[in-house]
């Protein structure tokens, strides 16, 4: 028996049943059907991500990725068909040769359009696809179009809720996640929702720390005026330090402008701060230094947790160390309490362009002794 979702298309969404939505979101491969202007059907397997909230399905994104193709993205048959006829269908199915009780399919009908890289929604689409498919983190999706589908109907048949699979999305393998994290300098202006920022900081909170004291806190800066005030406050220190390196005025001015631009154009800045007020106190200087060193090490672990959580969410980050060289200036600019010592500045958002990735040393070059 074929069942349908509740039609909420007047508000730009449909409301699938819970098992329909789970089946769709946990699927890994679908087939996209388009029709040419001459009514010739075209079917192709695709990777996709379903987006929505509160039980609604509002959008589907499909990447035009770097897997081998004979023509440019804009010349693909599916893209040309959508330009002439935006009506499409996406089919997700399950087949089991040994147990036909597990057979099921779900079809989403909708209207498609092409998101070009300059479109404000393009970055959101790429982030969603990268969060589901870690392989996309190494591909230059930011420079390629994305298919966007607005669903108008959802129909399904069969055993969507499969207890043998648990209906749980596949976790990203840790080795893949570690490689998915990358250092980005230029970000799109799209704001990062506060709920996601809090989710990332919660992940940071699970890092190991001396005596479980969590000797770190985080300041989050999103307002343009606050980002500009921080850049202004740090500018004089940057200029003086670059001059100490013997760099000429033109080079200093160019590097200062680049650093300033990074702060002003990143939608969310997170400043991890060391907070040693609750640490153990020792009568001797050596143990006290070791205690504070442990706190610094744990701050690095907390930041790494945050970076990996962002990568798992399809977000990009950049790690700037500038606050280490002027903690008092950063603290005053942000009006932080005296007990906080800014140690880093983490850029958070979606990359404006895919960065060039540096090669990493192999394990045999990193291990100095294996006894």
Is the same domain home to 165 and 77? yes
Q: Please, what is the average pLDDT of the chain?
A: 87
Residues in the chain: 371
Confidence of residue 169 (pLDDT cuts 50, 70, 90): very low
Domain-embedded: residue 59: yes
Kindly state the DSSP code that residue 135 receives in the 8-state scheme: G
* For residues 305-320, average pLDDT: 91
List the single range of 78-82, 93-97, 188-192, 223-227 with lowest mean pLDDT. Answer: 188-192
Pairing of strands 316-320, 345-349: antiparallel
Domain-embedded: residue 359: no
Find the DSSP H helices in 245-362. Answer: 249-265, 285-312, 327-334
Q: Which residue, of 116, 138, 170, is where some domain finishes?
A: 170
Q: Return left, alpha or beta for 39; rule: phi > 0 is left, psi -120 to 50 is alpha, else beta.
A: left
Do residues 317 and 130 lie in contact, with contact meaning Cβ atoms separated by under 8 Å? Answer: no
Confidence of residue 167 (pLDDT cuts 50, 70, 90): very low
The pLDDT of residue 2 is: 64
Is the same domain home to 53 and 162? yes
Is the same domain home to 150 and 123? yes
- At how many degrees (to 10) do helices 285-312 and 194-204 cross? 140
The pLDDT of residue 174 is: 85
CA–CA gap between residue 156 and residue 291 (Å, rounded) = 59
- Tens-place pLDDT, residues 334-359: 999 989 999 999 999 988 777 878 88
- Tens-place pLDDT, residues 202-220: 999 999 999 899 999 999 9
Is the same domain home to 184 and 165? no
Is the same domain home to 97 and 204? no
Within the chain, what is the greatest distance between any pair of CA atoms? 85
Question: Which range in 124-138, 154-168, 267-281 is most confidently predicted, on average pLDDT?
Answer: 267-281
The pLDDT of residue 162 is: 63
Is the same domain home to 164 and 184? no
* For residues 255-276, average pLDDT: 91
Q: Return left, alpha or beta for 353; rule: phi > 0 is left, psi -120 to 50 is alpha, else beta.
A: beta
Q: Which residue, of 140, 170, 200, is where some domain finishes?
A: 170
Domain with residue 282: its CATH number is 3.40.109.10
Would the pLDDT of 241 be above 80? no
Domain holding 52, by residue range, is 3-170
More confident residue, 175 or 49: 49
The pLDDT of residue 309 is: 92
Is the same domain home to 213 and 331? yes
Q: Which residue, of 130, 152, 170, is where some domain finishes?
A: 170
Number of structural domains (the chain) is 2
Domain with residue 114: its CATH number is 2.30.110.10
Q: Specify the 3-state DSSP secondary structure of 51.
A: strand
Output the CA angle 221-223-228, nearest 5 degrees: 85
Pairing of strands 59-63, 87-94: unpaired
CA–CA gap between residue 308 and residue 207 (Å, rounded) = 12
Residue 291 CB coordination number (10 Å):
18
Q: Which residues, at least 6 apart from 187, have a Cβ–Cβ distance to it below 8 Å?
A: 265, 266, 267, 316, 318, 347, 348, 349, 350, 351, 352
Domain-embedded: residue 103: yes
Query: H or E stretch including 37?
Result: none
Domain-embedded: residue 330: yes
- Tens-place pLDDT, residues 85-141: 999 999 999 988 888 888 999 999 999 999 998 898 998 898 889 888 878 877 888
The pLDDT of residue 1 is: 56
Is the same domain home to 270 and 183? yes
Is the same domain home to 143 and 258? no
Is the same domain home to 121 and 263? no
Domain-embedded: residue 367: no
The pLDDT of residue 4 is: 65
Domain-embedded: residue 67: yes
Structure tokens of 5? Answer: 């979702």
Is the same domain home to 310 and 234? yes
Is the same domain home to 185 and 244? yes
């Amino acid at each position: 028996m074929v069942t349908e979702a509740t039609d909420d298309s007047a508000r730009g969404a449909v409301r699938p049943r819970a098992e329909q939505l789970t089946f769709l979101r946990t699927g890994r491969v679908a087939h996209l059907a388009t029709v040419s202007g001459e009514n010739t059907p075209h079917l192709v397997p695709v990777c996709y991500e379903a987006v929505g909230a509160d039980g609604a399905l509002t959008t589907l994104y499909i990447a035009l990725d770097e897997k081998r193709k004979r023509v440019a993205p804009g010349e693909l048959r599916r893209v040309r068909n959508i330009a002439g006829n935006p009506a499409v269908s996406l089919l997700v199915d399950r087949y089991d040769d040994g147990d036909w009780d597990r057979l099921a399919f779900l079809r989403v009908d909708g209207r498609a359009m092409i998101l070009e890289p300059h479109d404000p929604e393009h970055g959101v689409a790429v982030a969603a696809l990268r969060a589901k498919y870690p392989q996309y983190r190494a591909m230059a999706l930011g420079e390629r179009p994305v298919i966007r589908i607005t669903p108008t109907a959802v129909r399904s048949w069969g055993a969507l809720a499969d207890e043998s699979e648990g209906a749980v999305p596949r976790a990203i393998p840790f080795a893949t996640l570690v490689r998915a994290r990358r250092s980005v300098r230029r970000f799109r202006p799209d704001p990062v929702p506060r709920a996601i920022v809090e989710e990332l900081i919660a992940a940071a909170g699970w890092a190991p720390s001396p005596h479980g004291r969590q000797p770190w806190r985080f300041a989050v800066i999103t307002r343009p005026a606050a980002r500009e005030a921080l850049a202004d406050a740090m500018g004089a220190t940057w200029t003086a330090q670059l001059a100490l390196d013997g760099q000429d005025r033109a080079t200093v001015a160019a590097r200062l402008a680049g650093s300033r631009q990074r702060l002003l154009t990143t939608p969310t800045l997170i400043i991890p701060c060391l907070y040693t007020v609750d640490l153990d106190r020792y009568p001797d200087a050596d143990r006290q230094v070791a205690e504070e060193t442990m706190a610094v090490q744990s701050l690095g672990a907390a930041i790494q947790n945050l970076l990996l959580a962002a990568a798992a969410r399809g977000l990009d980050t950049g790690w700037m160390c500038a606050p280490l060289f002027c903690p008092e200036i950063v603290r005053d600019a942000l009006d932080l309490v005296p007990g906080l010592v800014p140690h880093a500045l983490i850029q958070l958002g979606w990359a404006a362009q895919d960065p060039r990735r540096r090669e990493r040393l192999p394990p045999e070059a990193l291990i100095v002794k294996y006894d």
